[in-house]
Chains A and B, each alone.
Chain A
Amino acid sequence: EAQLVQSGAEVKKPGASVRISCKASGYIFIDYYIHWVRQAPGKGLEWLGLVDPEDDEVVYAENFQGRVSLTADRSTDTSFMEVNNLKSEDTALYFCARKLPVAHDAFDVWGQGTMVTVSS
């Protein structure tokens, strides 16, 4: 069974950085793009970007360009998301998700989510 398991909750101060991991299992890691999505408390879903684990190609949402970094480690089947210069409005539940090859936006397997709290 395909699965994505994320690292645990984080509490950070404004201006700090956070790095979240997303470990894949049960499928061939390089065959599926990994996307990252976040959800602020009580709010909707917001797309952050994607990484292709096969060739490390990345695409970032315009709002996060320069502040978010997505990577993939083929030796451990793990994707990472780093967010720099955290602000209080970055407080959210962050998800990684696997994209079906047949569509741009079909995410069939999701990580359990990692809560990031930014507070002074």
Chain B
Amino acid sequence: QSVVTQPPSASGTPGQRVTISCSGGSSNIGSNTVSWYQQVPETTPKLLIYNDNQRPQGVPDRFSASKSGTSASLAISGLQSEDEADYYCAAWDDSLDAVIFAGGTKLTVL
């Protein structure tokens, strides 16, 4: 089991706002920044958020993120069918000297 955890699943209806949580510890989220990735099935992961809340160019502002202490969250507003994907949070862990990915959250758009 990863030292950084996410709920395995989440769901929402089109237009709704959904959040995905990411929980870690003092050696990872608590002391380093968090990134979020979207992976549509059969495609490569896509960087959605870095440095806790920064969006790369081209990522819609429907995607936002925040961090508090040892937890982070990704919010998707105005949910669309194409948002159906797996979402991963990641952070560097100072104790392990490694990038840690959480197990991923499968988002279903109902």
Interface residues of A (CB under 8 A from B): 35, 37, 44-47, 50, 59, 61-62, 95, 97, 100, 102-108, 110-113
Contact = CB atoms under 8 A, between A and B. Distances in A.
B33 A105 contact: yes
A105 B92 contact: yes
B91 interface: yes
26 contacts: A35-B99, A44-B102, A44-B103, A45-B39, A45-B45, A45-B90, A46-B101, A47-B99, A50-B99, A61-B98, A62-B96, A62-B98, A95-B45, A102-B50, A102-B51, A103-B35, A103-B50, A103-B51, A104-B32, A104-B33, A105-B32, A106-B35, A106-B47, A106-B51, A107-B35, A107-B45
A73 to B, nearest CB: 23
B60 interface: no
A111 B44 CA distance: 8
Contacts of A97: 45
Interface size class on chain B is 20 to 34
A45 B37 CA distance: 10
Interface in B51-74: 51, 56
A44 B96 contact: no
A104 B50 CA distance: 9
Given A110-B44, A110-B45, A105 B90 contact: yes
B66 to A, nearest CB: 16
Nearest to A35: B99
B48 to A, nearest CB: 10
Residue in B35, B103, B104 with the greatest tally of chain A CB atoms within 10 Å: B35
A41 B68 CA distance: 33
A105 B104 contact: no
Residue in A46, A47, A104, A107 with the greatest tally of chain B CB atoms within 10 Å: A104
B100 A47 contact: yes
Nearest to B47: A108
A106 B98 CA distance: 13
